[in-house]
Structure 1
Amino acid sequence: MAVKKKFPYRAAVVACNGGCRSAEGEAGCADGCIGCKACIDKCKFGAISINEYGVAEVDEEKCIGCGACAKVCPQKVIHVHECANYIVVKCSNKKKGAEAKKQCNVSCIGCGICEKTCTAGAIKVKDNCAVIEESICLSCGMCAVKCPRHVIHDLHGILTEIR
C-alpha cells in the first residue's frame, strides 16, 4: 500500500534493539519493547512488525508518522522522528553501566562518549541512556560511529550496520 507522506517526512522508531532478547530464554530489560503487539494492532498502515528478537520494528516506507503506535505502547519506547534525522538511539534501558551490560549486550550504559563527540550538542545522557534532540542534530553520525556499545544507529546503514 503506497502511502502519501507530507513534508517534512515523519516516521515512528522503536527505541529498543532487542539485544537483550538475542540470547535463548532471555526475557529482556524492563525498559525495552515487550513484544505485546499493541502497536501492530493500532497501525492502520501495516508499518510495524515483530522482528527476530521479539521486538517491534517500523517500516519507514509504510509509516506516515501519525503517532498512534506511540500512544498505545505500554513501555513508551516508540516515538515519531523526522526522517531527515536518520541517527537514532535504539535503547531505552535506564540501568547504570554494569547493570545495563548484564541485561543486554547492546544496551546504552550512559558512558557519555556520544555526548562528548557531538559538536552540535544534540545528544545528552538522561537516566543513563542517550537521547538525541532532533531539532539540533546535524545527522553527522559521529555519535553512532563512536558509540562503544553500538546503541546509536544510522537508519540508512551508511555509518552503522542496519539491525
Structure 2
Amino acid sequence: MAIKKKFPYRSAVVACNGGCRANSEEPTCTKGCIGCGECVNNCKFGAISINEYKVAEVDEEKCIACGKCVKACPQEIIHIHECANYIVVKCSNDAKGADARKECEVSCIGCGICEKTCTAGAIKVIDNCAVINEELCLSCGMCAVKCPRHAIYDLRGIYTKVR
C-alpha cells in the first residue's frame, strides 16, 4: 500500500550496502547493518525488509519517515533524508582506507574524491566517511560517478547501478 505524499517528501535510508556480506556469510564490518530486523519489527507500514545481503532496505513508496526505524536501529545507521535528493552515502564505516577496504568491498575509504568533485560543497569526509549535506546537494550525481569504491549511490539508478 503506497502512501500519497507531497513533494518533496522524506524517507528513511540505511547507510549500509551489505558489501561486507556480498562474498561471505560473516560480515567483517562492525559499523554496518547486522540484519537484526529491529527496524523491520518497528515499522508499522511494512516499508523495511531484509535483502539478500542480510541488510535492511527501505521501500520509499511505503515509508512515511516516522523515524521509528531510526530509533530502533542498534547500529545507528538509519537516517531520514529528503527524497528530492536521490544521492546517498550507503556506508557508515569510519575505518581508515586500508582497514575499510579489508572490511567491505564497497566501503567508503575517506579518499575525498567526492568532496573535491562536488561543486556545491555539499559533501564532506567526516571520520573517514563521506557525509552529504542535503540542504546543499544539487543531486547532480558527480560524487556518485567519481566514487572509486561505489559507496555513494543514486537511488534512481541513473548515475550508478542500484545494488
TM surpasses 0.5: yes
- In structure 2, distance between residues paired with 1:97 and 1:36: 27
Tell me the secondary structure at the aligned position of residue 20 of structure 2.
helix
The residue identity in structure 2 corresponding to 1:133 is N
Equivalent residues of 1:18, 1:28 under 8 A apart:
no
What TM-score results when the alignment is normalised by the length of structure 2? 0.97
Residue 9 of structure 1 and its aligned partner are, at CA, apart by 0.6
Number of aligned pairs?
163
1:22-60, Cα deviation, whole Å (9 max, x unpaired): 122322311100101000000010000001100000001
Equivalent residues of 1:13, 1:80 under 8 A apart:
yes
Percent of aligned positions that are identical: 76
Query: Which residue number in structure 2 is paired with residue 104 of structure 1?
Result: 104
What TM-score results when the alignment is normalised by the length of structure 1? 0.97
Equivalent residues of 1:122, 1:137 under 8 A apart:
yes
Query: Which residue number in structure 2 is paired with residue 50 of structure 1?
Result: 50
Equivalences for residues 149-160 of structure 1 within 5 A: 149-160=149-160
Query: Which residue number in structure 2 is paired with residue 79 of structure 1?
Result: 79
Residue 83 of structure 1 and its aligned partner are, at CA, apart by 0.4
Tell me the secondary structure at the aligned position of residue 140 of structure 1.
coil
CA RMSD for the aligned pairs? 0.9
1:128-149, Cα deviation, whole Å (9 max, x unpaired): 0000000000000000000000
Equivalent residues of 1:95, 1:128 under 8 A apart:
yes
Equivalent residues of 2:124, 2:132 under 8 A apart:
yes
- In structure 1, distance between residues paired with 2:148 and 2:73: 28
